[in-house]
Each structure stands twice: as C-alpha cells, then as structure tokens.
Amino acid sequence: MAGDGTDQRALQYEQTLMYGRYTQELGVYAKEEAARLRESGQRRSVSERSRTFDLLEYDKGRCAKCRICTVRCQKFLISRVGEDWIFLILLGLLMALVSWVVDFCIAICLQAQKWMYGGLDSNVFLQYLAWVTYPVVLITFSAGFTQILAPQAVGSGIPEMKTILRGVVLKEYLTFKTFVAKVIGLTCALGSGMPLGKEGPFVHIASLCAALLSKFMSLFGGIYENESRNIEMLAAACAVGVGCCFAAPIGGVLFSIEVTSTFFAVRNYWRGFFAATFSAFIFRVLAVWNRDEETITALFKTRFRLDFPFDLQELPAFAVIGIASGFGGALFVYLNRLIVQFIRNQKAINRFLMKKRLLYPALVTLLISTLTFPPGFGQFMAGKLTQKESLVTLLDNRTWAKQGIAEEFDYIGHSQAWQHPQVNVFVTLVIFIVMKFWMSALATTIPVPCGAFMPVFVIGAAFGRLVGESMAAWFPDGINTDGTIYPIVPGGYAVVGAAALSGAVTHTVSTAVIVFELTGQISHILPVMIAVILANAVAQSLQPSLYDSIIRIKKLPYLPELGWGHHEKYNIRVEDIMVRDVRYITLNCCYRDLHNVLLTGHLKTLALVESAASMILLGSIERAQLQSLLSLQLGRPRRLEFIRERATAEKKRLSVVSNSDAEDDHRRASQEVRFQISTEESSFSPTRPVPQKPLKPALKRPSVVERPIDIPIGSQDHSSNSSLKNLFCASPDAELMEKNNNVESPVSPDSRRQSKRVRISVVEPPPSLRGFFGDDDVVEDDMTIREIAEWEEMQLDEQVNFNNCKIDPAPFQLVERTSLHKTHTIFSLLGLDHAYVTSIGRLIGVVSLKELRKAIEGSVTVKGVKVRPPLASFRDSGTSSSENEATELHNLWDREKRMSLPGEHTPPESDEKSQ
C-alpha cells in the first residue's frame, strides 16, 4: 500500500525529469521536507547537550586536533580580512576551476569525435556511424546519469534560480548531488557537439557551489547561517556563473541581475563584481598557464578596425537586424514551448517515451547529428564546425563574399567550412540559420543539463553575418562618400546580430555588454545597443522570455512583472484581490480546531489571532510547527505517559514493587539506549536529509506527508485512527517510525523492543516529558483501540499550549487599500509568499502569490488593454472616498463603543470561520 502512493509520486517525479514539468504537489512536498529538516535541526540543538557525551565517545581521536587547528586558522582569517571576501574569493576560484576543467573536457570530447571521424574517412558509412554514435552515447549517458543522480539538474537552472532568489525554498536544487550531476551531465552534453549552451547551467552550478561552500564554511562558524545573507551570496554566485563562463565579469553581473532579480540591492552589486572579476581573471589565467593564450585577452577576440568601425548610414541595417532578431527571439521561445507541449500532450508518444525514457534524447540526438553529418547535408551548413569554431569564423573581420562571388573568399582555417563548391555562401548561411534554429529549440528540450544562450548567440551571429555579407555585396566600396574607402565589416554585423538575438530570447539588454567582453572590442557599441533595444522591444511585446516560459512550463511559483506604462494598475487595491476566507487559529483554541484547520488550506503558515471575535492578528505559525504540536499531543509518548500515570496511580494503590529493583532497571535501560543511539546515529543526523540510494531516489523517499488517505496503516500501533492522525501530522518521529518499518521486518510483536525503538525515533521529547522515561520506561501499551480513540478525543479537547511553538511575531501585513503596485513591489523585494491583510489590527484577508499573479495577468490582456477589477470603479473621485473613510471610521467608533458594552461580543463577519 505504501508502494502505491510512493510509486505514483515517483512517476510524477520522473515525468518532471522527462520534460521538465514541475507539479505543484512536488513543490509542496519539497517544501515540507525542507521544513522537516529544519525542524529536526532545531530539535537537535535542543538535544545537543544530552548528546555531547555520546559524540565525544564517537568522535574521539578522529580529527579533534585537526579541527581545533582549523578553527583557529579560520578565526584568524576572519579577523584579518572579513569573511565575505574569503567566501567570494573561494567561490570565484572554485568556479573558475570548474569552468576551465569543463571547457577542457569538452574540448577533449570534441577532439575525440573529430579524430574518430577523420580516421575513418575511407568508408562513409563507418564515418557516419562514428559521427552519429558518439553524440548519441554521450547524450544518453548524460541524460541517464542526471536522471539517476539528481533529476533536478536537468535544464538550464536559471528559472529555478530566479524562483529561489524570489524567496521560494527549493532545497533539492542546491544539493551536492545536483552539483555533481550538473557538472558531469553538462560536460557530456556539450562534449557531444549538440547545439547546447553552457551559460545557464553555469549560473546554477555557481549557485550550487555557493550554497555548498556556505554550508562548508558554516562548519567553522555560525556566520554563514543567516538566510538573507545566503540569498545575497546566491545573487553574487549567479554573477560568477556567467562571469566565469564567458570571462565577462561586467556582463555577467548585469545579465544575472536582469535574468534573476526583480529588485536589486545596490550593496550587492559590489559583491557580484568582486567575485565575477576574480573568477573571470582566474579562468583566463588558467588558459595562459596552459599555454593556450599568450596573455589575458577576450574569449572570441575580434580585430575590427578602430578608426572607422561603421558608417552612420549603416545604422538602418543594424536596426533591421534588431527588429528581425526580436521576431526571431519570440519565435524561438514559442517554438521551444510548442515542442514541449506537443510531446506532453500527445498521449501515445508520451506513454511510449515515459517507458523508454532515454529514447527521447537518443532520437533527438540521432536526428540532429544525422543532419549535420559533414559529407551529407552538413556540407551545406558548415556541419563539421563546432559551436565555438562557428562563432570564431562568423566574427571574422574579413568579408567572405566580395561582390557576391564566393571565389574571392580567403580560405584560412575554419572559414573554409562555409565554402561549398556549388553553393553560394549566402545559401549556406541561410541553411545554417534555419536548421540551427529548430535544432537548438529541439535540443534544449532534451532532459540534460543545458542552456540555450550559446546556440541562440551563434544563430544570431550567423544572421548578422548574413546581413553583413549582403551589405558588403551591395556596397563593395563601403557607403562613405568622403573619398576614403572604408569597406563594410560583416563581422561587426555578426556581433550585432548575436547580441540582438540572445537579448531577444532572454529579454535582457546586458547581452550587449557580454558581447563586448567576449569580443574584446567595444567600437560597435551604438549599433549593438540600438539593435538590442529594438530586439527587446519587439520580443517583449510578443512572448515571455525563455526563462519565464520555462518557469510557466515547469509550473514554478513565480510573480509576473508589472508591465511598464501600465499606470492604471495603481488603481487596483489589495482589497480587490485578497482572499477573505482566511484560515486562522486562535490563541485559546483547542487541539481539535488545530486539527481541522490543518486539514484545509495550502499556505505554509497559518495566522494566529487573538480570538475569533476580535480577529486581532498576533503572528503566524508554520504549518509544520502546528503539525508537530498536534502529533506531540496525540503521539505515543504522551499516551505512554498517560498509561504510566494510570499505572502509577494503580501502583500506589498496590505498593508492592521494591525500590532497588527499579534502580537496576534504570541502569540497564540507559545503557541499552546509548548503544541503540550510537548504531543508528546517522538516521537522525540533520546533515543527511533522507536515506538515499543511488538508484531512483524518488521511490525511496518517505511520502506520507502529502496524502493522509493513501498512507499505510502502520503495524506498531493497534489503532487505525491514532496512526492516521500521527502520520498525517507528519512529525519527524512518525516518518522515522515508518522508515524503520520499511527497513526491518514489518511486524515486531515484542512490545518491549518496540517501545525502545519508538523512544529513539522520537529522539528527544520535550524536557517536561523526559524525566520519567529514565525512571521507568517499561510501560506496556495495553490500551485497546477504543480506549485510544477515547483518549485521543479527550486530548483533542485540551487547549493548545503554544509554549514550545515558534511563532513569527512579525508576519508581513498590508492594509486593504495598499495599491497593487506597492504590493507587487513589496512581494518582489522581500520575496514574500503571502501577506496578511489587516484593517486596524484585525485580520481581514490574505494575499498570496497566486492572487497577485491572477490580478496582474487577469487585468491586463496581451495588448495592454486593461480589464478593470469590479471594485476599482467606485473610487475614482478623491473626495467621496475620503468622506467614506471618515464615515467608516465613525461607524467603527460607534461599533467599538457598542462593543465595549458587556455581552455583545459577536461581530458578524467571523461567525462562519470560528469552527
């Protein structure tokens, strides 16, 4: 029965991997797991003292000296330079190394393919086999490896980082496994020569690196545990990711800001620049040390002339590139989404691919590599060039087609690939653009770690080159009529095209800066800027950015941007969009209310109000906290205590047990306990989240939290009712219990042994409960199902004691008249998931991301025409509203006066909520 629910989830999980779908449920699951982990961390700190003894025994001699030394070193370092520097430098260094190693491996892979293909030139069929098999194997390996190790490593990672920086906890995306899967998967994927990019995954890898480094550094001190600091570090890491990928520190910072942030704290700017510069520096220095370069220069250095980079009259051509790129970019995003949706919606294909899940990558790779096979169709599209080589040739500063004749071509190096005896260079370029366009859109749907930036960049460069070559053919002596002949530089057009198309796809302006840093020349700044801006203007009005599109496809929680110029949004207020039916708990509620409230609703925190009558908001409590409160109340330990008490009462009546016997019992029990803990220590160590097996991790994860109905009825408890509640409330104990059951024999009739296990899995009951366990813990659980049900009903009627519950006393509050604009600003800045709406201290509603999203998307259609919310029309005139306010206030005052009279304590609006 347990397998059923888990299997279903695992299937969903696999679907996610396949096409990158992200179900809401999975998100909830991830969040709750994260909450659980956090809680167990807290629990551990409470029980720290009691466990030091065991730890000392356990750790003795292992690395105590070494640790002391490290701590001293680290203290010294912190006092000397400040911890942020160290972190950023380490991050930059690490990422530069990773980037360089990945590049190195990719180069080796590509060389190997070339070597194989070159060596078999006697037989075309063998050559084809070699050409095709190699990428298929690599991609299949990459897809398989990623899926097995960490399915969340699939794709670019920028959408996920955007979501994480918005404040949504996606813990599974920042684990070490993901790091390994992403790096190895990416290397293989790019080594295959498919039109895939390195940039997006590098943003994710850098963030992973930062998260892991942060975790590692926190071993040396508690400074790295602040959450808002971590977010800032992640923002810097994104900059590092782009920076070390392209050796473009400035462009990296700007691109990462544009792509991942809505609001940017200028104080973080510095961090990003620092780390990205250091990283780019090391990345390029490694190339120099490896003798690839003589000195530090740009990655794709161009050599355009400086005196007269372009004529003023060429600007219309650049503008045309910009506008066309805008349409092209929108088309690319649309095509990409179309492919994903097509495959997902065709049930037959879907079912087939789901079974053979490595088939899809293999098929796609086979198709693409067949088409690029150099002796085949590839000869018309420079198929034998790698992505990097294509880019280098496209940015070449010589003209390929003077006067339209291909013969005058300078055949040096890779540029030869563009030449075809029968076919014009223009045709080659057009075929290249068209083929690469759909190939890239298709390739980026393969479930491997990959980005789309670089392929798009190359396509853009080819398009620019095409326009440039045409211009050069039309004006062989340049446009300038002042005497001096300045021939047209098609390479400059390629630069402009690359920036424009990649800008259009990602909706960023900073691709311009990346282009300058990549080419090492900034002379084309104005054409590039003009083209990028035009491309953005066109693309933004047609389609969302590629990353936003993926966010929507994957159903990640997101918040759409407020369109600029949509000033009418300022007229929608929170009261128009808020949910008025808020789930809340009152200060004097009983456990039954808690139970009922937890059964409904979806927000991760619940409001705590003073009373249903006053509705004054006191704070918010996390759902997990309440669940553990409830499970503590209904849990086995408390029931055992109850039994013990009952027994004690009986004992008092009988008075037959001797004192010395009890003491003996005690000593024996405590020894056993210690032994038990030391063997099973790892299962409640908070640094290891869940017991994970290398294969199909989703299957192994306990998944009881989500569906209280599907849960198997545990065998260690006689009462179905009690166990249901226990499991639903999903405290770590309950889950651990279930896990233990899975591993060992399902039925263990020895109640004595079982009671010990339970005690261990609970790890640490609250101090008030702890005392008696040592005294005599050999209570037999002899209650019948009926008794347990009765006992639970009794427990549920008790008033909740919030003493051990962590209450957030400052949940974010809005007032009902807060404008949509302000709300959006606050939500995006503070990364809120929801905010309570209060009116003069009373809770009257809640706004979550969902409502906000609906309000923004619902009120503005694609064309910018606004649909007014039904309530907004009432308040266009300023005077009447202010009069209304005063009237309302006076009504309130009257009400208050009335209310303060005794015996009148039921305001109408809270009736239906106080269950």
Cβ neighbours, 10 Å, residue 279: 33
Which stretches of 82-175 are DSSP H helices? 83-119, 124-149, 158-165
Which of residues 179, 516, 591, 773 is near a copy of itself by CB under 8 A? 516
Half-sphere exposure of 709 (CA within 13 A, CB side): 1
Please choose, out of 280-288, 449-457, 593-601, 651-659, the segment that lies near a copy of itself by the rule CB under 8 A: 280-288
297 binds a copy of itself per the rule CB under 8 A: yes
Nearest alpha-carbon partner for 765 in 687, 673, 675, 871: 673
Half-sphere exposure of 634 (CA within 13 A, CB side): 32
Q: In the window 329-358, what residues touch a copy of itself (CB under 8 A)?
A: none
Q: In the window 77-96, what residues touch a copy of itself (CB under 8 A)?
A: 82-84
Cβ neighbours, 10 Å, residue 876: 9
CB of 16 to a copy of itself, least distance (A): 29
887 binds a copy of itself per the rule CB under 8 A: yes
Place of tokens 């010589």: 398
265 binds a copy of itself per the rule CB under 8 A: yes
Which of residues 204, 271, 465, 639 is near a copy of itself by CB under 8 A? 271
> Which of residues 228 and 751 has its CB atom nearest to a copy of itself in the complex?
228
Which of residues 146, 523, 722, 723 is near a copy of itself by CB under 8 A? 523
SS3 sequence of 165-183: HCCCCCHHHHCHHHHHHHH
836 binds a copy of itself per the rule CB under 8 A: no
DSSP 397: S
> Which of residues 196 and 496 has its CB atom nearest to a copy of itself in the complex?
496
101 binds a copy of itself per the rule CB under 8 A: no
- Left (φ > 0), alpha (ψ -120 to 50) or beta: where does 662 sit? alpha
Residue 204: exposure state from Cβ atoms within 10 A (0-12, 13-18, ≥19):
buried
- Left (φ > 0), alpha (ψ -120 to 50) or beta: where does 160 sit? alpha
Place of tokens 């923004």: 856
> Which of residues 173 and 516 has its CB atom nearest to a copy of itself in the complex?
516
In angstroms, the CA 561 to CA 57 distance is 56
> Which of residues 588 and 720 has its CB atom nearest to a copy of itself in the complex?
588
Nearest alpha-carbon partner for 296 in 604, 113, 520: 520
840 binds a copy of itself per the rule CB under 8 A: yes
Half-sphere exposure of 707 (CA within 13 A, CB side): 15
Axis crossing angle, helix 732-743 with helix 751-762, rounded to the nearest 10: 130
318 binds a copy of itself per the rule CB under 8 A: no
Please choose, out of 363-371, 552-560, 705-713, 815-823, the segment that lies near a copy of itself by the rule CB under 8 A: 815-823
Q: Would you say 856 and 820 are in contact if contact means Cβ atoms under 8 Å apart?
A: yes
303 binds a copy of itself per the rule CB under 8 A: yes
Place of tokens 């070559």: 469
> Which of residues 670 and 882 has its CB atom nearest to a copy of itself in the complex?
882
Please choose, out of 189-197, 388-396, 816-824, 906-914, the segment that lies near a copy of itself by the rule CB under 8 A: 816-824
In angstroms, the CA 662 to CA 711 distance is 39
Q: In the window 585-604, what residues touch a copy of itself (CB under 8 A)?
A: 587-588
> Which of residues 778 and 829 has its CB atom nearest to a copy of itself in the complex?
829
CB of 514 to a copy of itself, least distance (A): 11
In angstroms, the CA 132 to CA 138 distance is 10
413 binds a copy of itself per the rule CB under 8 A: no
> Which of residues 148 and 815 has its CB atom nearest to a copy of itself in the complex?
815
113 binds a copy of itself per the rule CB under 8 A: no
Please choose, out of 67-75, 435-443, 444-452, 878-886, the segment that lies near a copy of itself by the rule CB under 8 A: 878-886
Residues in the chain, total: 915
Which of residues 14, 610, 665, 710 is near a copy of itself by CB under 8 A? 610
In angstroms, the CA 498 to CA 491 distance is 11
> Which of residues 607 and 643 has its CB atom nearest to a copy of itself in the complex?
607
320 binds a copy of itself per the rule CB under 8 A: no
CB of 866 to a copy of itself, least distance (A): 13
229 binds a copy of itself per the rule CB under 8 A: yes
> Which of residues 713 and 840 has its CB atom nearest to a copy of itself in the complex?
840
> Which of residues 226 and 720 has its CB atom nearest to a copy of itself in the complex?
226
Query: 406-414, long-range: CB within 8 Å, 24+ apart, which pairs?
Result: 414/385, 414/389, 414/390
Please choose, out of 222-230, 370-378, 682-690, 717-725, the segment that lies near a copy of itself by the rule CB under 8 A: 222-230
Q: Would you say 361 and 450 are in contact if contact means Cβ atoms under 8 Å apart?
A: no
Binding mask 475-494 for a copy of itself (x = CB under 8 A): -----x-x------------
Residue 752 main-chain phi, psi, to 5 deg: -65, -50
SS3 sequence of 770-788: HHHHHHCCCCCCCCCHHHH
Binding mask 185-214 for a copy of itself (x = CB under 8 A): ------------------------------
In angstroms, the CA 816 to CA 306 distance is 59
CB of 533 to a copy of itself, least distance (A): 6
Q: In the window 545-574, what residues touch a copy of itself (CB under 8 A)?
A: 561-562, 564-565, 567, 570
Q: Would you say 265 and 234 are in contact if contact means Cβ atoms under 8 Å apart?
A: no
> Which of residues 249 and 697 has its CB atom nearest to a copy of itself in the complex?
249
- Token pair in block for residue 410: 């300078």
Cβ neighbours, 10 Å, residue 159: 27
Q: Would you say 271 and 84 are in contact if contact means Cβ atoms under 8 Å apart?
A: yes
Which of residues 413, 890, 909, 915 is near a copy of itself by CB under 8 A? 890
Q: In the window 893-912, what residues touch a copy of itself (CB under 8 A)?
A: 893, 896, 900-902, 905
662 binds a copy of itself per the rule CB under 8 A: no
> Which of residues 468 and 619 has its CB atom nearest to a copy of itself in the complex?
619
> Which of residues 248 and 459 has its CB atom nearest to a copy of itself in the complex?
248
Q: In the window 38-77, what residues touch a copy of itself (CB under 8 A)?
A: 42, 45-46
231 binds a copy of itself per the rule CB under 8 A: no
- Left (φ > 0), alpha (ψ -120 to 50) or beta: where does 59 sit? alpha
CB of 500 to a copy of itself, least distance (A): 13
CB of 873 to a copy of itself, least distance (A): 16
> Which of residues 600 and 879 has its CB atom nearest to a copy of itself in the complex?
879
Q: Would you say 505 and 539 are in contact if contact means Cβ atoms under 8 Å apart?
A: yes
CB of 102 to a copy of itself, least distance (A): 21
821 binds a copy of itself per the rule CB under 8 A: yes
Please choose, out of 140-148, 161-169, 299-307, 629-637, the segment that lies near a copy of itself by the rule CB under 8 A: 299-307
Nearest alpha-carbon partner for 531 in 313, 314, 320, 322: 322
Which of residues 231, 335, 616, 677 is near a copy of itself by CB under 8 A? 616
DSSP bridge pairs for 197? 451
CB of 222 to a copy of itself, least distance (A): 10
865 binds a copy of itself per the rule CB under 8 A: no
H/E run at residue 848: strand 842-848
Q: Which residues, including other chains, have CB under 8 Å from residue 654's CB and lie 6 or more apart? A: none
Which of residues 358, 363, 423, 529 is near a copy of itself by CB under 8 A? 529
CB of 520 to a copy of itself, least distance (A): 5
Q: How many residues bind a copy of itself (CB under 8 A)?
A: 122
In angstroms, the CA 453 to CA 460 distance is 10
